[in-house]
Amino acid sequence: MVLGYSRAIYVEFTNRCDIHTFIRCLIHGFEYFGGVTDIVLTDRMKTVILGTGEDRKPIWNSNFEDLAATLGFTPKVCRVQRPQTKGKIESGIDFVKSNFLPGRKFIDYGDLNHQAIVWCEKKNRRIHGTTGERPIDRLKEENLKPLPTSDRYQKFLEQVRKVHKDGLLSFDGVRYGVPWQYSGKEVVVRDKNGKIEILYDGKVIATHEKHYRSRTIVFLKDQYKGLKEAEGMFYPKPRAIKLSSLEVEKRSLGVYESLLEVGTV
C-alpha cells in the first residue's frame, strides 16, 4: 500500500491472494498508517470486482464492498489499459523488488514480514525522491479517518473452517488442533494479534501461536484427552435397526413377474 499524498508505504507478504487474505492485508495496512483513506484505488482484480454492469460501473465483490462500508472508504479501480493511473503503487512494487528483496534471508512469512515492517519504518523516514520530504512527516497531513473500533471489523479477520476427523483444521496452509470432540464440525478461525483463536458457537475452544510455515501441524495440549474412553470414536456410533421392526409392503407375486418381462424380446 502507498498513500497518495505522503507516499508512506506498507508492505506485507503472503502465500495466498484470495479475498480473505487481501482484506486482512488491507486492514493491517490501515492499522499501520493509523487511519483510513477517503478513497482506495486498486487494480481490476477479482478480489475487488467481479465484472462491470451495462452502465460500465464495477460489480463489487460483496466482501470488499462490505469492508468499504464498514471502514468508510470509497472504492475505485484503475481504468482499463491505463497503467499510469496506478503509477505510485507500481513504482512502489519495483522499489520493494529492487531495494528490499535482493539478498534477503528469512525463516518464514512471519520473519519476512517482521523484516518488511522494519524496512518500511526506515524508508518512511527517508527523503522521498518525488516530494522532497519525508513520508512520515507528510503522513500527518493525510487527514486519515480514524479506524472504527476493532469489534466493528473483526469479522473480516475471521474464516469458517471444518475440523477434520483427526481433530485438525487448515488455516493459511497450517494445520491447527482443537479438542477431538469438535471433529466434523464447522468452527470460526480468528487471526488476532499474532494468535490463532478457534471458536465454536461464539466460545473460544483453542488458542495457538500463529505459525507461518506451510504444512506445519500444531497440536493442542490434551487435544485427544478422553478419546480412548470414547472407544476412539470421533462420530456417534451407527445405530442398529432390527429388520423385524420395519414394515415391508406386501405385493402380489404377479407384480414381480411383470417386472421381469419388461425389456424382454
Identify the pLDDT of residue 141: 94
SS3 string of the chain?
A: CECCCCCCECCCCCCCCCHHHHHHHHHHHHHHHCCECCEEEECCCCCCEEEECCCCCEEECHHHHHHHHHHCCEEEECCCCCHHHHHHHHHHHHHHHHHHCCCCCCCCHHHHHHHHHHHHHHHCCCCCCCCCCCHHHHHHHCCCECCCCHHHHHHHHEEEEECCCCCEEEECCEEEECCHHHCCCEEEEEEECCEEEEEECCEEEEEEECCCCCCCEECCCCCCCCCCCCCCCCCCCCCCCCHHHCCCCCCCHHHHHHHHHCCCC
pLDDT tens digits, one per residue of 52-63: 888 888 999 999
Identify the pLDDT of residue 265: 43
CATH 3.30.420 fits 19-148, yes or no: yes
Percent residues over pLDDT 90 in the chain = 66
Domain range annotation of the chain: 19-148, 157-218
Identify the pLDDT of residue 244: 54
Identify the pLDDT of residue 56: 83
CA dist 97 and 158 (Å) reads: 30
Identify the pLDDT of residue 27: 96
pTM as predicted: 0.79
Identify the pLDDT of residue 89: 66
Per-residue confidence of the chain (265 residues) as pLDDT tens digits?
999 999 999 999 998 889 999 999 999 999 999 999 999 999 889 999 999 888 888 999 999 999 999 999 999 998 776 655 565 667 888 899 999 999 999 999 999 999 999 999 999 999 999 999 999 999 999 999 999 998 899 999 999 999 999 999 999 999 999 999 999 999 999 988 889 999 999 999 999 999 998 899 999 999 999 888 776 555 545 555 555 544 555 556 554 455 445 444 4
